[in-house]
Structures are given as structure tokens and as C-alpha cells.
Amino acid sequence: MTREDAAKLLHAYVDGELDAAKNLEVEAYLAGDPAARAACERLREMSAAIRDRADYHAAPASLAARLRASVPAAPEGTRERAGWPRWLGPAAALAAVALLTWGVTLLSLQPGEDERIAREVLASHVRATLGNRLFDVASSDQHTVKPWLSARLAFSPPIAEVSAHGFELRGGRLDYVGGQSVAVLVYQRRQHMVDVFVWPTPAQKRERTSTRDGFNVESLASGGMAFWLVSDLNRNELDDLARLLAANSAAP
């Protein structure tokens, strides 16, 4: 074995990646070349240094929680879609156009209660962000925020403990939406602020999402409360929060 050959195999030798025959050849060569033995030693030290001293970044607990929350719900739709026969593509597109036209007609005929509320909560969110007056009570402690709001409203808004899922409570404020006083809970995710408007409603409503002016607006009703979420946060993560709020509110 030449020096060149040995040089080519040295890393694989140190990494224990050579087969038995090649391993013996390299060992035989090393026995006669002290400089190569020293090089080999240095490689081992380098390897040990990385193993011992380089940071190992374990996943933060919040990420695991976020995944457990989002994994079961997200892929069901995609699974179904993957299983659709091919001819359904154009048919579905046609049906979607038909539905859309019908929906747009309905919407344009009937701006409706939801449309009006969506506009009001969005305006409130933008006003608060622009004026940098996001909360009347600033606290990450729900036991501070909740009594403060309850004392000023005719109802007591449920406040979900969602920091384990990556949403930090930052505070709360009062506002006036749809002709009544409502609670606004302010959550933060990374640099995004999420306003959650809460008021009592007898209705039970599934989630609805829309995008306007670059903001995502999501609404649902659960456990006797209506929730309207407004944020520049992406839709998926806003969905996560909506689900958590619904679960919290539905719990006895």
C-alpha cells in the first residue's frame, strides 16, 4: 500500500468503515509510517472533540407538543385527496367553480352578520397594533387577566393555558364589537401578535377562516362563547390556537 492509498482510506479507517481485509492493510501500512500514525491520532482527537464539545440541539418541548397537536388533523385531507381517482380532478374543479360562484352570489347578496363582525375585529386589531396599545392589562398570568376582564364585563372569558404550545399570553383589553362589550385576549407567537375576541353566544359554530388585507381571521363558537382570532400569523398556526381555544372552552 502506498502513502496515497493509505491517505485515501485513513478517514474510513478511523470511522470503522473499512472491511476486514482493507482494515488489515491499513494497519500494516501504519505500523511502518509514524507520521501517518500521528495523523490518525489527530483524526481521532478531532472526532472526539466534536462528539464531546459540539452542541447537541435537542428539540424544544413546545415543538413536540405542537407536532402532537397538528399531526392527526392535518394529513387526513391530503390522504383523501391522494386516493381520489384521476377523473375526479376536472370534475372537482368544475364543482368548485360552481360552488364558488354560488358562494360569491350569496355573499354579495348578503353581507351578513359574520362579514360585519370580521370587519370590526380586523379594524380593532389594526388600531391596537398601529397605536401600540394592545392591552389594558398586561400580564402573562391568566389569574391576573381573567379577573381584570371579568370585573369590567357582564361575563367571564375563558382563558386557555397554551404556553406549552408556543403561544404566550401577553395581556387583555376591552373593546366594542357587534353592539356589545367584548374581551380581547392578546397572545404572542414569535414576533406575531394574535388578538382573540371573546363574547358569549348561544350558537355552536365550526371554524371559519378568511384572509383580508394580509391578516388571517378565524372564527368559531364553542362552550357558549364566540371566538374571533385575528393575526398576521400564518393560517396553520392560527388554526392550532383556534383548536386549543375550542378544546379548552368545550371542557367542563
Partner 1 sequence: MDPVSERKRRFEQLVLPHLDAAFNLARWLTRNDHDAQDVVQEAMLRAFRFLDGLRGEAKPWLLAIVRNSCFTWLQVNRPAELAAFDDRTELHLVDESTPEAFVVRQCDRRMLNEALAALSAQFREALILRELEDLSYKEIAHITDVPIGTVMSRLARGRRLLAESLRAISNASQVHE
Using CB under 8 A, list all residues that contact partner 1: 3, 6-8, 10-12, 15, 17, 35-36, 38-39, 41-43, 45-47, 49-51, 53-60, 63-64, 66-67, 70-72, 74-76, 78-79, 190
In terms of CB distance, is 190 or 206 closer to partner 1?
Answer: 190
CB of 120 to partner 1, least distance (A): 32
The C-alpha angle 146, 60, 193, rounded to 5 degrees, equals 40
Nearest residue (CB) to partner 1, 119 versus 243:
243
Residue 47: CB minimum distance to partner 1, A = 6
Minimum Å gap between C-beta 32 and partner 1 is: 15
In order of 52, 57, 77, 78, 79, the CA distances from 91 in angstroms are 59, 48, 18, 18, 19
Nearer to partner 1 by C-beta: 43 or 247?
43
* Rounded (5°) CA angle 210-211-214: 165
Q: How far is the CB of 19 from partner 1 (least distance, A)?
A: 12
Q: What residues form DSSP beta bridges with 212?
A: 215
* DSSP single-letter state for residue 151: T
How would you classify residue 181: left for phi > 0, otherwise alpha for psi between -120 and 50, otherwise beta?
A: beta
